[in-house]
């Protein structure tokens, strides 16, 4: 079984945190990109999709970047000083951001990375299902529109229109949506 590589963006001004994180997130399991500038990190996150984005909030109040990237498919992990943890954790949890007290214990960081990977996997799975459902809904919408046109323009019943679409699909070796799109284009 091949192990998946997890792409991670780390944004921190603190060289100690960068060093600590680098010791845990080593290749080939992790592909780590580091930025010490939030503007640069925003650009990088816009150009590449990351599985996990780790943000060091500095004094604890610099959470804007974490909130802005939380609407991506990435799992966001925010380092927060102990004295501001409850306040900030409560404020960002509605965005789906996971918080971790800094300085962090290696055991807790490791476990939080495992949680972030699991969350990212679930999001990816659900996103895939959403895409499939949207595609199926679009297919149904197109077929129903074609049936409606057949009923209006050719005086068919709904059952006749349905049968016509099925028969044309089988006779021409096309998907129902392709036949439906052809009918819509005719009218």
What's the pLDDT at 72?
81
What are the tokens at 14? Answer: 């603190």
Q: What share of the chain is helix, strand, coil (3-state, %, to 5)?
A: 60, 15, 25
Q: What pLDDT digit, counting tens, does each position of 93-142 carry?
A: 999 999 999 888 888 888 888 888 888 888 878 888 888 899 999 999 99
Helices (H), 11-105: 15-24, 38-47, 64-69, 85-92
Q: What pLDDT digit, counting tens, does each position of 52-104 carry?
A: 999 998 776 678 899 999 888 889 999 999 898 999 999 999 999 999 998 88
Please give the residue that has the higher pLDDT: either 71 or 1.
71
What's the pLDDT at 124?
79
What's the pLDDT at 2?
54
What's the pLDDT at 32?
94
Which class for 136: exposed (0-12), middle (13-18), buried (19 or more C-beta within 10 A)? exposed
Cα–Cα nearest to 36, from 19, 61, 60:
19
What's the pLDDT at 122?
85
Q: Is the pLDDT of residue 1 over 50?
A: no
What are the tokens at 98? Answer: 């996971």
Q: What pLDDT digit, counting tens, does each position of 150-183 carry?
A: 999 999 999 999 999 999 999 999 999 999 999 9
Which pTM does this prediction carry?
Answer: 0.70
Helices (H) and strands (E) in the chain, counts: 7, 5
């Amino acid at each position: 079984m091949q192990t998946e590589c997890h792409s991670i963006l780390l944004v921190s001004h603190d060289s100690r945190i960068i060093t600590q994180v680098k010791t845990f997130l080593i290749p080939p399991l992790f592909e780590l990109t580091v930025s010490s500038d939030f503007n640069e990190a925003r650009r990088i996150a816009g150009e590449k999709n990351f599985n996990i984005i780790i943000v060091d909030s500095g004094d604890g109040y610099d959470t804007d970047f974490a909130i802005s990237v939380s609407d991506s498919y990435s799992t966001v992990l925010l380092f927060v000083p102990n004295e501001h943890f409850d306040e900030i954790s409560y404020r960002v949890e509605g965005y789906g951001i996971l918080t971790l007290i800094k300085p962090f214990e290696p055991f807790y960081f490791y476990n939080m990375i495992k949680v972030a990977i699991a969350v990212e996997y679930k999001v990816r799975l659900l996103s895939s299902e959403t895409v499939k459902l949207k595609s199926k809904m679009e297919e149904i919408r197109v077929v129903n529109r074609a049936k409606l046109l057949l009923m209006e323009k050719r005086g068919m019943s709904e059952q006749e229109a349905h049968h016509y679409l099925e028969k044309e699909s089988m006779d021409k070796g096309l998907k129902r949506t392709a036949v439906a799109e052809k009918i819509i284009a005719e009218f």
